[in-house]
Amino acid sequence: MTVEKVDTLVIGGGQAGLAASEHLTNSGVPHLVIERSRIAERWRSERWDTLVANGPAWHDRFPNMTFDMDPDGFASKDSIVSYFEAYAKQINAPIRCGVEVIALSRKPDGSGFIAETSQGTIEARNVVAATGPFQKSVIPPVVPADSGITQIHSASYRNPAQLPEGGVLVIGAGSSGVQIADELARAGRKVYLAVGPHNRPPRSYRGKDFVWWLGALGLWNMETPDPSTEHVTIAVSGARGGHTVDFRDLAAQGITLVGRAESYANGTMHFASDLAANIAAGDADYLSVLDSADAHIEREGLDFPEEPEARIIGPEPDCVKNPILELNLAKTGITTIIWATGYALDFGWLQFDVMDERGRPAHQRGVSKVPGFYFLGLAWLSRRASPFIWGVWHDAKYIAEQIAAKAR
């Protein structure tokens, strides 16, 4: 059996794998990227049809290529796929698609790694795991599979027509949950949206998009999440040209807001009585972003237009004032639950210990505790920006430099 040898093996051909390839080339490191499916596969097959980027095209991109569109617009998922395909060509990425790493082990003498792939064995001195920050969809075990309700994760949602007739309970009010709930309500579905703790920053304020403010306020560079907000999701949307997510607007559209989905028994879903508190905390966070932005403008003496109307918070909708605490799904006509409840990591192919005591990847800015093994693209790898298109490019540069330095 022949064994292919490469200096550095990059696993995963999404944005992280491509960024790694660009910087490895620039650092003179011979490498191979392998992708089990196609370039940017998750953007092709794990996102709904109408998804657009959460950030404007001037921001959600790599530095060395712009999107062929209005820079203030929000790229569709299909344009993002085309963008990364074009990017792979532009950098001449040595990428092999349709090859899956099934197992990765360390060579007994510690001099590198052996990857068992769907197309043979590859030996590498270094390995970069670029298999994504959001690898495995998570559906909490609340509603039994035999309950007669269709249950899907947001990663499997495509469009309203895919769902059986009837009402929909969307659980999770991060960017995916609110956008899917909004789309379903616009398609004429009766929608219930379970709203947990969230932040809902302004789409733009005083003439600048939220992603600009994250940069100006130094928040993209935050190195660790604030422990008090670690489990707080963020609701932003680039849909319909981009708009601030306001749960009052969703309620006005006919969506019934409910609290966090807590438990299910005998056909009835029970919700926590935290809806008003979650909405109030989201509002407070929203206003704090405006405060920080105002303070920045003042401090820097910037001549940005005033926007006092951004501070107007509407009255509480009835569903918040008098929250529903339980819903019999059949009686309410709910036939589908969409779990917009996030993702977990899945490193089942890794055959050596590179995790910390809590089972999370152990690393410093992606440099793992196993010499020659690197993580890229994980949430908070080096800072808040790490799992995003723009941020991963910068993390990849650091990893490539570490690999090149090791070779020297």
Ligand X SMILES: Cc1cc2nc3c(=O)[nH]c(=O)nc-3n(C[C@H](O)[C@H](O)[C@H](O)COP(=O)(O)OP(=O)(O)OC[C@H]3O[C@@H](n4cnc5c(N)ncnc54)[C@H](O)[C@@H]3O)c2cc1C
List residues binding ligand X (CB under 6 A): 11-17, 34-37, 41-43, 47, 53-55, 60, 100-101, 130-134, 176, 349, 377, 387-389, 392
Write the Ramachandran bin of 393: left for phi over 0, alpha for psi from -120 to 50, otherwise beta: alpha
Yes or no: say if 350 and 127 are a contact pair by the CB < 8 Å rule: no
Q: Shortest approach of ligand X to residue 228 CB, angstroms?
A: 23
AA identity, residue 216: A
Q: Rank residues 256 and 341 by Cβ distance to ligand X and give the closer one.
A: 341
Q: Rank residues 332 and 341 by Cβ distance to ligand X and give the closer one.
A: 341
Tokens of 82: 């085309």
Q: Shortest approach of ligand X to residue 390 CB, angstroms?
A: 6
Q: Shortest approach of ligand X to residue 98 CB, angstroms?
A: 9
CA distance linking residue 61 with residue 359, whole number of Å? 31
- Sequence-separated (6 or more) residues with CB below 8 Å from residue 402: 367, 374
Q: Shortest approach of ligand X to residue 22 CB, angstroms?
A: 13
> How many CB atoms neighbour CB 303 within 10 A?
7
Q: Rank residues 195 and 389 by Cβ distance to ligand X and give the closer one.
A: 389
Q: Rank residues 13 and 167 by Cβ distance to ligand X and give the closer one.
A: 13
Cα-only R_g, the chain: 23
Give the 3-state secondary structure of 80-129.
HHHHHHHHHHHCCCCEEECCCEEEEEECCCCCCEEEEECCEEEEEEEEEE
Distances from the Cα of 281 to the Cα of 59, 146, 181, 334, angstroms: 28, 36, 21, 28
Q: Shortest approach of ligand X to residue 10 CB, angstroms?
A: 9
Q: Rank residues 174 and 323 by Cβ distance to ligand X and give the closer one.
A: 174
User: Cα 301–305–310 angle (5° rounding)?
Assistant: 115
Q: Rank residues 27 and 76 by Cβ distance to ligand X and give the closer one.
A: 76
DSSP 317: P
Q: Rank residues 33 and 334 by Cβ distance to ligand X and give the closer one.
A: 33
Q: What is the helix (H) or strand (E) element at residue 376, kind and residue range?
A: none
CA-based nearest residue to 274, from 231, 337, 225: 231
* Helices 389-407 + 15-26 axis angle, to 10: 40
Tokens of 303: 């001549």
Q: Rank residues 176 and 204 by Cβ distance to ligand X and give the closer one.
A: 176
Number of helices (H), then strands (E), in the chain: 10, 23
Q: Rank residues 158 and 270 by Cβ distance to ligand X and give the closer one.
A: 158
Tokens of 154: 């947001």
Q: Shortest approach of ligand X to residue 45 CB, angstroms?
A: 9
Q: Shortest approach of ligand X to residue 256 CB, angstroms?
A: 23
Q: Shortest approach of ligand X to residue 129 CB, angstroms?
A: 9
